[in-house]
A and B are shown apart, each in its own frame.
Chain A
Amino acid sequence: AQSVTQLDSQVPVFEEAPVELRCNYSSSVSVYLFWYVQYPNQGLQLLLKYLSGSTLVKGINGFEAEFNKSQTSFHLRKPSVHISDTAEYFCAVITMNSGGYQKVTFGTGTKLQVIP
């Protein structure tokens, strides 16, 4: 079985400060990793994804994440946050089962609160 853990349910950070949102996963097979953002009263948007290749992935709005296979982590980072980054962030893992079908597991989300 696969699982995704986002240890921090809420992360307050001052504007222009750096932030890291943590995501750890467990899976017995290869994974694809995603970060999604949900702004208040809106649906989910894809921030970035890791499928293969370079372990450092750059996404939209200045976010990046690094895949660390040995630590089974995919932490999301931004060097300087803006008020508009206030939102909830979800980490997700996708694996393929033996039938070639995808299984998706989401973390419980981390609410990023940017303080002016």
Chain B
Amino acid sequence: KAGVTQTPRYLIKTRGQQVTLSCSPISGHRSVSWYQQTPGQGLQFLFEYFSETQRNKGNFPGRFSGRQFSNSRSEMNVSTLELGDSALYLCASSLDRQGRKSFFGQGTRLTVV
């Protein structure tokens, strides 16, 4: 059974650009959550999608957005990139809303220069 797949693994962008990250959950999982990990702030929750609807949102500006498709794949978009957006972005998929079988992808490391 394939795990959670995030693409790309590494990305370098310049300030002002926009970026789209992709997450394919484990087959059968309907909940996808996104997290930002930085050395200074640790792991922070971005948002959660379930059945193509955003269910929860963390405390991030509107430049951060996402969506989920009917096959549960999710994309996260960051517009007008800032240097501080450099981070490891992790996606987690779970079987249900309670996160009882929750698995993380290996992340996308975004560097903004």
Residues of A at the B interface (CB closer than 8 Å) are 32, 34, 36, 42-46, 49, 51, 90, 94, 96-97, 99-109
Residues of B at the A interface (CB closer than 8 Å) are 31, 33, 35, 42-45, 48, 50, 55-56, 90, 92, 97-100, 102-107
B107 touches A49 (CB 8 A): no
Given A102-B98, A107-B42, A44-B55 contact (CB < 8 Å) = no
B104 touches A45 (CB 8 A): yes
A101 touches B99 (CB 8 A): no
B55 CB to nearest A CB, Å: 4
B44 touches A32 (CB 8 A): no
Query: Could you write out 15 A-B pairs with CB less than 8 Å apart?
Result: A32-B99, A43-B105, A44-B90, A45-B104, A46-B102, A46-B103, A90-B43, A96-B98, A100-B97, A103-B45, A103-B56, A104-B45, A104-B99, A106-B43, A106-B44
Taken together as a complex, chains A and B put the C-alpha atoms of A102 and B106 apart, in Å, by 22
Partner of A51, one of B43, B100, B104, B107: B100
B29 CB to nearest A CB, Å: 13
Partner of A36, one of B56, B104, B107: B104
A109 touches B42 (CB 8 A): yes
Q: Which residues of A contact B44 (CB under 8 A)?
A: 106
Main DSSP-derived SS at the A contact region? strand
Q: Which residues of A contact B104 (CB under 8 A)?
A: 36, 43-46
Taken together as a complex, chains A and B put the C-alpha atoms of A34 and B92 apart, in Å, by 14
CB-nearest residue of chain B to A103: B56
A7 CB to nearest B CB, Å: 13
Q: Which residues of B contact A108 (CB under 8 A)?
A: 42-43
Give the residue among B44, B97, B99 with the most A Cβ atoms within 10 A. B99
CB-nearest residue of chain A to B54: A101
Known A34-B99, A102-B99, A109-B42; 8 more pairs at CB < 8 Å: A43-B104, A44-B104, A46-B104, A90-B43, A94-B98, A102-B56, A104-B45, A108-B42
Q: Which residues of B contact A96 (CB under 8 A)?
A: 97-98
